[in-house]
Structure 1
Amino acid sequence: MPATPSLRHPTRLAAALVTASLLVGGFLAAPTATAAPHTAATTAVRANQVGYLPDGPKRATVVTTATQSLTWQLRDASGAVVASGATVPRGADTPAGQSVQVADFSSYRGSGSGYVLAVDGSASVPFDIRANLYDTLRSDAMAFFYHQRSGIPIDASLVGSAYARPAAHLGVAPNQGDTAVPCQATVCDYTRDVRGGWYDAGDHGKYVVNGGISTWLMVNSFERAKRAGNESALGDSTLRVPERGNGMPDVLDEARWELDFLMRMQVPEGKPYTGMAFHKIHDAAWTGMPLRPDQDPQPRELHRPSTAATLNLAAAAAQCARVYRPYDAAFADRCLSAARRAWTAARANPALYAPDSDSTGGGAYGDTQVTDEFYWAAAELYATTGESGYRDAVTGSSWHTSATAFSAYGFGWADTAALGRLTLATVPNGLPTADRDRVRTSVTAAADGYLSRMAAQGYAVPVPADGYFWGSNGEVANDAIVLATAAELTGEGRYRTGALETMDYLLGRNAIGQSYVSGYGRTASHNQHHRFWAHQLDASLPNPPAGALAGGPDSALQDPVAQEKLTGCAPAACYIDDIGSYSTNEVAVNWNAPLAWLAAYAAERTTTGEPPTGLCAVTYRADSVWSTGFTATVTVKNTGPTAVDGWQLNWAYPGGQRVTSAWNATVTQNGTAVLARDAGWNRAIAPGATASFGVQGTHTGANPSPTAFTLNGNTCT
């Protein structure tokens, strides 16, 4: 289906939308299946429907019009109350269009199955608390890519009989490719063997710009795990791939299937634009639904090379040369050769853009700003080779000092400068210490921005209020990667907390109480837009396999089903689990790749197995109270092992009090939610030290003290 709109233009419609209505039998038609209700929630208590880690954050959101704190109870499978406390009123959550409160039961460290959180007469769906919570999702999210492989039989012994199918697009009738694919008219006068790779989304197209970032994310997941000493979890014979047992880590086997395809897309020597990469390959016209890929009769076409595709190849292949070398030096050499040739070709053709109008039969993936791709590719080549030419390309790029490398919407297939930053921040290289420190600071600054956004919202989502566009769930998962990288760089638990809470959002703690991952949670998406996983259209076909991430809320309502069923929705609620809603419910490799990355990260155990120590303690003391007002002193103590450099403290007033002034901190209030920031001179709190500030405010009736505080996203005692 159509490409995700660029993160630089989150509301831009791809030209493909003109022809992207459901195709049935080759004809444009309205959806024939009965649409599922778009309101999935069956309870006001929205929790992670899979569960929580014993040593991780445990928060749920309660939809309620109550303005006073409510009592929450955590009950085990027998119904016994194992923990209780008071919710924190948050007031209006604008993206969700709801009034909410938050229950924080992070202090509970038990484990088991069948827990429910009960608040004000409502109870969450049952969930688990256990250390191995994400082990299965790690495997399933990775298996998505094997399901999406082109050019190989999908083996029932690995995926089950419902998902098995013959090899597709190998030139065996009724297929017409991909072993000798011609170009579109005027593009080239030869054919290319471009078999293999992953089908990009719910259709049968393969796109280099989406494949490049997706491959990078999968390989980066292994590279990060290896730095953390946890590579064995993604090692040989850990995943469901046919290459298991070959001595290569399974995640690298899977990524290699796409890397081989990406290198086949490179223009050969002696041809015009040699070294460039063809932008994409897909059917000449949109295929019907449902349609298994091996039954696709459409002719296939190569689309003209683009600078963006070429730089994706250069970046992914350079990363390959670095990460694969200990396991297959010959393949690493082949990757590096392809990366160098792609870089040279892109430098010679720096403005060969894929047009947005090229959207017949597949998404356009247009992108007219490629300086960020140049930066990303240079960073990967420099990290791999250490050569001065690539270093100069890095340091000479405007992105190297730009504050917008991490945009307000994170990163994505059209915004890749952040990927270069992540590599330069984590992979040993020869940048001067001050320069490397600045790069690392940019990562933590971006992560701090996401934490601030999460702290200001009832559902703890890192995206802005206008960030619910096509593929918003992929954006959430990408932001989690930045948070997790900041945790690696600093060792600060608040970043890990933030990364894990994004998983809560994807698995049910959201505006509609929907788990967006198939097979995970009581109300999980299971009608994602796909041509073979199409049970909603044909009962003989399967629903998507477990571990497939739906695109998520899209407030632009860019398909007929969304327009019919979701008109008037709040941005964070603009989602429907219907196969016809391709703008909210499609799957794509660039959304499942960060999900797989995040699942692997969340599945890692701590080295000791012990819960982390508390990082902060807060004392709130009412100094003076009169009939309509009060003053109070708030003292924050750093109980963690490292200094706090820049702090923000969040709480909510249970009695609806209003802050009118403050000293020694900058204090703002939204509804009952209060945010206090350091005053600059007191931004640093050493381990064991404290910072105090005062507030003055008004109240009506009682003046109860707040009982729950978070410091930089960490729950305080």
Structure 2
Amino acid sequence: MSKAVQLSYNQAGYLRHGPKFAALARETSGQLPWTLSEAATGVVQIQGITLPAYRDPLTGALLHCADFSSFKTAGVYIIQIDEIPSEPFRIGDNLYGTLTRDALHFFYLMRSGIALTEQYAGKAWARPAGHLSDKDIRAFAGTDAQGTKWDGCSFSIDGSGGWYDAGDYGKYVVNGGISVWTLQNAFERMPDSFSDGDLAIPEQQNGIPDILDETRWELEFLLRMQIPSGQPLGGMAFHKLHDRVWSGVPAELPTYMDNNNEMKDGASWGRYVYEPTTAATLNLAACAAQAGRIWKTFDKAFAERCITAAEQAWEAARTNPIILAGNVPGAGGGNYDDVNVEDDFYWAACELYASTGKPEYEAFIRNSPYFKTFQGLNGHGAAYSMNWADTAALGSITLVTVKTALSEKDINEIKDLIVKTADRYAVIQRNDAYATPIDASGFVWGSNSMVLNNAIILALAHDITGDRSYLSAVSRAMDYLLGYNSLRKSFVSGYGIDTLEHPHHRFWANDPVKGLPPPPPGVICGGPNAQIQDPVAEALGLIHRPIPMRYVDEIGSFATNEVAINWNAPLVWVASFLHRAFQR
């Protein structure tokens, strides 16, 4: 928590026609005076008294809240509550356009297998290509942490390209899946929000929206992770690719490394792909099917290639429905060990049906329990609607986004489930003094992504119903992430006065002496985590803080301050939604 910031407010600013709140946590009775003044002149524009004080149930803080939503004049302002001022912030319409581009540019800066030039990355973040040696890599053969022996495979794999997953140098099909889907869904729902030339990337000005160029970089990696036909388990996808042991933090990004393809020393070192799983295969099937329909107007050959790979993955997963990930190999990377893949089957079937219209996929959808339920409703996951391990909602969202042969009755029933889920999040948000659309159970590793994914559901409810209360709820969720929280911290780098500065990241270590840059603007960190899951959080005694305050902006706190592709993807979605919705 910064001593310089004494008010909770959106440090990046407020939309002219959106809600505007600022708050002071203070143990005092009665309502407090507030003023909104021009930053340049100090002239008061509007004033009032705070709403009746409200004790936040999760932090215990007594909050005095100023509501200045009625003020709609663009400019730069300072809010004061009981003479305690904010830093200057902006009120305007074009508040989230730049954030959308910065959050999307994050993915270019996370690319593996390509040099990031100063022209596209900027001087601070330009770097040599990482892990070109992934082009010739083998599957891990050895005994994992659970004592299971893996035989590997007889052929080498081209694992080049893709995005680094988070603060480490691993690349994961499962987490890549929801990240690609979220970005592609943002384009599919809001194609007019994205164009060619939006981003500083090498593919700009090629006639294809830059968001699709960026997702293709990851898609090509996902496609390369599919086992070729004719090989054992052909059509399945390898689960992940990473080092055998963890690297240090920070760590130099290697252009080439010895992958230990000969498996010397019992594969105790090196870099490998790890065994295929049903979950990874279905992630590939879903994202490739989604890409197949999106890309057909831009690159027909690539679209057809994606559909072919998706259908091969589907058939392989149906043949091998319970090859599950475990603690393999036990170090060097995350497990992403999804033990329930029925939701992934449903998601993949929805995407394949939306892209091909084949009755076999419709039949599977109708026989799935997920067809008439929705994650996030009581009894189906209280904290959130989707994450990398829970993907059924992605399929249902596609069914109400893409025109298919489903009846209007079927589509309306799914829409009704989405709206009911959004209503539940709206109630949670109204009961939270900091307008967070997650309850205590949502403060897990990556809680900020739970806020964003729930905001997507609120945004969908707005699109379905036209009710602007959902639009306000999305805006308030973004307020929370950008400083209207108990920590008075913007969790997005470069957006606010007290922002993310020291993420858990190998090369964005913010150490000028060692030549390591700060995080680029537009990167969101994981956020408060109720569980104490890293040594820094333990040493600082975060367990003794209220749950929403169990966060620290330190590089060693991987459980609260890491960054990840599946967290920045919904930031792109929500920022682009707000930018479009509030343009006047």
Question: Are 1:117 and 2:79 an aligned pair?
Answer: yes
User: Whole-Å Cα distance in 2 between the matches of residues 259 and 387 of structure 1?
Assistant: 23
Task: Give the corresponding residue for 1:72.
Answer: 34
Aligned with 1:61: secondary structure?
strand
User: Whole-Å Cα distance in 1 between the matches of residues 535 and 180 of structure 2?
Assistant: 32
Task: Give the corresponding residue for 2:164.
Answer: 199
Task: Give the corresponding residue for 2:430.
Answer: 455
- The verdict on how the C-alpha distance between 1:337 and 1:116 changes in structure 2, with shifts beyond 3 A counting, is same
1:560 aligned to 515, 519, 535, which one? 535
Task: Give the corresponding residue for 1:130.
Answer: 92
Whether the aligned pair in 1 keeps the contact of 2:347 and 2:392 (CA below 8 Å) is yes
2:108 aligned to 146, 165, 169, which one? 146
2:174 aligned to 209, 215, 219, which one? 209
Whether the aligned pair in 2 keeps the contact of 1:465 and 1:571 (CA below 8 Å) is yes
Aligned with 1:572: secondary structure?
helix
- The verdict on how the C-alpha distance between 1:90 and 1:479 changes in structure 2, with shifts beyond 3 A counting, is farther
Query: 1:99: Cα distance to partner?
Result: 1.4
Query: 1:537: Cα distance to partner?
Result: 8.5
Query: 1:141: Cα distance to partner?
Result: 0.4
Task: Give the corresponding residue for 2:137.
Answer: 181
Higher-Rg structure is 1
- The count of aligned residue pairs is 558
Question: Are 1:413 and 2:392 an aligned pair?
Answer: no
Please show how residues 578-589 of structure 1 align to structure 2 within 5 Å: 578-589=554-565
Aligned with 1:118: secondary structure?
strand
TM-score, structure 2 normalization: 0.93
Paired letter, 1:442: L
- The verdict on how the C-alpha distance between 1:404 and 1:550 changes in structure 2, with shifts beyond 3 A counting, is closer
Paired letter, 1:271: Q
Please show how residues 76-95 of structure 1 align to structure 2 within 5 Å: 76-77=38-39, 78-95=41-58
Aligned with 1:508: secondary structure?
coil
Q: Which moved more, 1:39-48 or 1:361-370?
A: 39-48
Query: 1:408: Cα distance to partner?
Result: 1.6
Query: 1:291: Cα distance to partner?
Result: 2.0
Q: Which moved more, 1:92-101 or 1:123-132?
A: 92-101
Q: Which moved more, 1:534-543 or 1:394-403?
A: 534-543
Please show how residues 49-448 of structure 1 align to structure 2 within 5 Å: 49-77=11-39, 78-113=41-76, 115-170=77-132, 177-185=133-141, 186-226=151-191, 231=192, 233-295=193-255, 297=257, 299=259, 300-404=271-375, 407-410=381-384, 411-448=386-423
Whether the aligned pair in 1 keeps the contact of 2:111 and 2:163 (CA below 8 Å) is yes
2:522 aligned to 519, 538, 547, which one? 547
Aligned with 1:330: secondary structure?
helix
Q: Which has the higher strand share?
A: 1
User: Whole-Å Cα distance in 1 between the matches of residues 388 and 20 of structure 2?
Assistant: 32
Query: 1:71: Cα distance to partner?
Result: 2.2
User: Whole-Å Cα distance in 2 between the matches of residues 420 and 392 of structure 1?
Assistant: 14
1:479 aligned to 454, 467, 474, which one? 454
User: Whole-Å Cα distance in 2 between the matches of residues 295 and 330 of structure 1?
Assistant: 31
Query: 1:539: Cα distance to partner?
Result: 4.0
User: Whole-Å Cα distance in 2 between the matches of residues 284 and 533 of structure 1?
Assistant: 22
TM-score, structure 1 normalization: 0.76
Q: Which runs of 4+ in 1 moved over 6 A?
A: none
Gaps of 5+ in 1: 1-38, 171-176, 610-717
Aligned with 2:152: secondary structure?
coil
2:576 aligned to 600, 604, 628, which one? 600
User: Whole-Å Cα distance in 1 between the matches of residues 465 and 244 of structure 2?
Assistant: 49
- What are the superposed Cα offsets for residues 693-716 of structure 1, whole Å, 9 maximum, x if unpaired? xxxxxxxxxxxxxxxxxxxxxxxx
Task: Give the corresponding residue for 2:484.
Answer: 509
Task: Give the corresponding residue for 2:146.
Answer: none
Aligned with 1:129: secondary structure?
strand
User: Whole-Å Cα distance in 2 between the matches of residues 187 and 453 of structure 1?
Assistant: 48
Query: 1:62: Cα distance to partner?
Result: 2.1
Paired letter, 1:169: H
Task: Give the corresponding residue for 1:530.
Answer: 505
- The verdict on how the C-alpha distance between 1:405 and 1:462 changes in structure 2, with shifts beyond 3 A counting, is closer
Task: Give the corresponding residue for 2:444.
Answer: 469
User: Whole-Å Cα distance in 2 between the matches of residues 379 and 480 of structure 1?
Assistant: 22
Query: 1:54: Cα distance to partner?
Result: 0.5
User: Whole-Å Cα distance in 2 between the matches of residues 333 and 386 of structure 1?
Assistant: 15
User: Whole-Å Cα distance in 2 between the matches of residues 451 and 325 of structure 1?
Assistant: 37
Whether the aligned pair in 2 keeps the contact of 1:41 and 1:514 (CA below 8 Å) is no
- What are the superposed Cα offsets for residues 401-454 of structure 1, whole Å, 9 maximum, x if unpaired? 225466322110001111111111221111122211110011111111111111
> Percent identical across equivalent pairs?
46
Query: 1:469: Cα distance to partner?
Result: 1.2
RMSD (CA atoms): 1.5
Paired letter, 2:400: A
Q: Which moved more, 1:337-346 or 1:155-164?
A: 155-164
- The verdict on how the C-alpha distance between 1:267 and 1:538 changes in structure 2, with shifts beyond 3 A counting, is farther
User: Whole-Å Cα distance in 2 between the matches of residues 556 and 568 of structure 1?
Assistant: 11
Whether the aligned pair in 2 keeps the contact of 1:156 and 1:164 (CA below 8 Å) is yes
Query: 1:91: Cα distance to partner?
Result: 2.6
Aligned with 2:55: secondary structure?
strand
- The verdict on how the C-alpha distance between 1:43 and 1:178 changes in structure 2, with shifts beyond 3 A counting, is closer
Whether the aligned pair in 1 keeps the contact of 2:428 and 2:439 (CA below 8 Å) is yes
User: Whole-Å Cα distance in 1 between the matches of residues 33 and 569 of structure 2?
Assistant: 39
